[in-house]
């Protein structure tokens, strides 16, 4: 190996190592800080203790907020996945003039609808509907924002289900509902699993909408509460934040593992011989 090659190789690995560290250090912090007697913002070998966990569990809002997150996310995810599945099926199978344009416009606007631009109108609308401080209302708005993208992604999956599957089922006497539940949904299952995870993760991390629409601390989800975890002096409460962050990240990981195990993110089928 020539010296030039050597330098190149070393340079390459240095770059990789820096990039890796960028992602790994926060993870390591998440693993060590919760169990450190004096957690800081730096990374160090912890002085093991469970006191932080105890403090967090005793925090008046920490666990409730995680429960709130779960409620909002499950509602938003279920609404998104079920409505997107039905809409994607319809849009994939029925010829509507201007369908593609409609989908693109929806997709474009969806980032506006739940985004910062529409913050004020959304607040006013929800206020007039009396849905401020309502977790269900917040979940509805979040689902509304996710639906266009979910429909867009799922439509692609449904498009790839051959029509002959459905026609075949129809010839055997299946009703439209049977066609959907026996054939289309199972075949599009990896797509729906993807949407489930995607919607849940999106809703779980959503800060702006619950922050706007839920003013009562006891009803706020984890993402909003995290911001308010401060000590009396106004600086970040480092005894609660690390444990809370760890707890906050668990559901997403569990969901990934579960969905992957139960449905798999890939197509059913075997090796073509």
Partner 1 sequence: MAGIDVRALSTVYPNGVRAVDGLDLEIVDGEFFALLGPSGCGKTTLLRTIAGLEQASSGQVVIGGADVTGVDPGKRKVAMVFQDYALFPHMTVAENIGYPLRVRGESKARQREVAEETSGGLSLAGLLDRRPGQLSGGQQQRVALARAIAMDAGVLLLDEPLSNLDARLRLEARTFLKRLQRELGLTTVFVTHDQAEALALADRIAVMESGKIRQLGSPREVFQRPANTFVANFIGSTPMNLLDAVVRGGFVEVAGARLTLPPGISLADGTPVTAGIRPEYLTAGSGEGITGVVSTVENLGVSSLVTIECPGDALVGLTVPEQYEPEIGTTVTAAPEPGRLLVFDEAGLLLGEAKVAP
Q: Cβ contacts of residue 221 below 8 Å, gap of 6+? A: 65, 66, 68, 69, 72, 73, 210, 214
Nearer to partner 1, 40 or 162 (CB): 162
235 belongs to the binding site for partner 1 (CB under 8 A): no
The helix/strand/coil state of 124 is helix
* Cα–Cα distance for residue pair 79/72, rounded to 1 Å: 11
Judged by CB under 8 A, which stretch of 73-81, 167-175, 213-221, 231-239 contacts partner 1? 167-175
Which of 83, 123, 165, 256 is the binder for partner 1 (CB under 8 A)?
A: 165
Nearer to partner 1, 230 or 260 (CB): 260
Nearer to partner 1, 30 or 93 (CB): 93
Residue 264 C-beta: closest distance to partner 1, Å: 11
Nearer to partner 1, 170 or 249 (CB): 170
Residue position matching structure tokens 């993760």: 201
268 belongs to the binding site for partner 1 (CB under 8 A): yes
Which of 82, 168, 230, 260 is the binder for partner 1 (CB under 8 A)?
A: 168
* Cα–Cα distance for residue pair 7/167, rounded to 1 Å: 63
Q: What is the DSSP letter of 214?
A: -
Q: Which residues between 197 and 226 bind partner 1 (CB under 8 A)? A: none
263 belongs to the binding site for partner 1 (CB under 8 A): no
Q: Which residues between 82 and 111 bind partner 1 (CB under 8 A)? A: 95
266 belongs to the binding site for partner 1 (CB under 8 A): no
Based on the number of CB atoms within 10 Å of its own CB, is 46 exposed (0-12), middle (13-18) or buried (19 or more)?
middle
Nearer to partner 1, 190 or 205 (CB): 190
Which of 90, 174, 238, 252 is the binder for partner 1 (CB under 8 A)?
A: 174
Nearest partner of 263 among 199, 194, 200, judged by Cα: 194
54 belongs to the binding site for partner 1 (CB under 8 A): no
Which of 115, 189, 198, 249 is the binder for partner 1 (CB under 8 A)?
A: 189
* Cα–Cα distance for residue pair 63/218, rounded to 1 Å: 10
Q: Cβ contacts of residue 59 below 8 Å, gap of 6+? A: 229, 240, 244
* Cα–Cα distance for residue pair 169/177, rounded to 1 Å: 11
Nearer to partner 1, 173 or 233 (CB): 173
Which of 45, 164, 235, 266 is the binder for partner 1 (CB under 8 A)?
A: 164
Residue 257 C-beta: closest distance to partner 1, Å: 22
Q: Cβ contacts of residue 49 below 8 Å, gap of 6+? A: 35, 36, 37
187 belongs to the binding site for partner 1 (CB under 8 A): yes
153: left (phi over 0), alpha (psi -120 to 50) or beta: alpha
Instruction: Give me the residues that bind partner 1 (CB under 8 A), please.
Output: 95, 162, 164-165, 167-175, 178, 182-183, 186-187, 189, 267-273
């Amino acid at each position: 190996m020539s010296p030039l090659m050597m330098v190149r190789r070393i340079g390459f690995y240095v770059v990789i190592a820096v990039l890796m560290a960028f992602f790994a250090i926060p993870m390591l912090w998440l693993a060590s800080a919760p169990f450190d007697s004096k957690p800081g913002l730096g990374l160090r070998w912890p002085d093991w203790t469970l006191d932080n966990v105890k403090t967090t569990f005793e925090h008046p809002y920490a666990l409730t907020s995680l429960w709130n997150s779960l409620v909002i996310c499950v509602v938003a995810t279920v609404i998104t996945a079920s409505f997107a599945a039905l809409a994607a099926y319809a849009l994939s199978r029925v010829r509507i003039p201007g369908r593609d344009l409609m989908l693109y416009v929806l997709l474009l606007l969806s980032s506006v609808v739940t985004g910062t631009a529409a913050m004020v109108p959304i607040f006013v609308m929800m206020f007039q509907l009396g849905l401020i401080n309502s977790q269900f209302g917040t979940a509805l708005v979040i689902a509304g924002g996710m639906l266009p993208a979910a429909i867009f992604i799922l439509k692609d999956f449904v498009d790839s289900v051959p029509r002959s599957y459905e026609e075949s089922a129809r010839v055997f006497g299946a009703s439209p509902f049977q066609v959907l539940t026996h054939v289309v949904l199972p075949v599009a299952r990896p797509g729906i699993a993807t949407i489930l995870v995607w919607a849940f993760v999106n809703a779980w991390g959503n800060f702006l909408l619950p922050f706007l629409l839920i003013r009562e601390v006891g009803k706020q989800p984890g993402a909003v509460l995290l911001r308010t975890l401060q000590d009396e002096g106004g600086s970040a409460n480092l005894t609660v934040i690390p444990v809370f962050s760890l707890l906050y990240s668990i559901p997403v990981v569990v969901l990934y593992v579960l969905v992957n195990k139960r449905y798999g993110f890939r197509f059913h089928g075997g090796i073509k011989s």
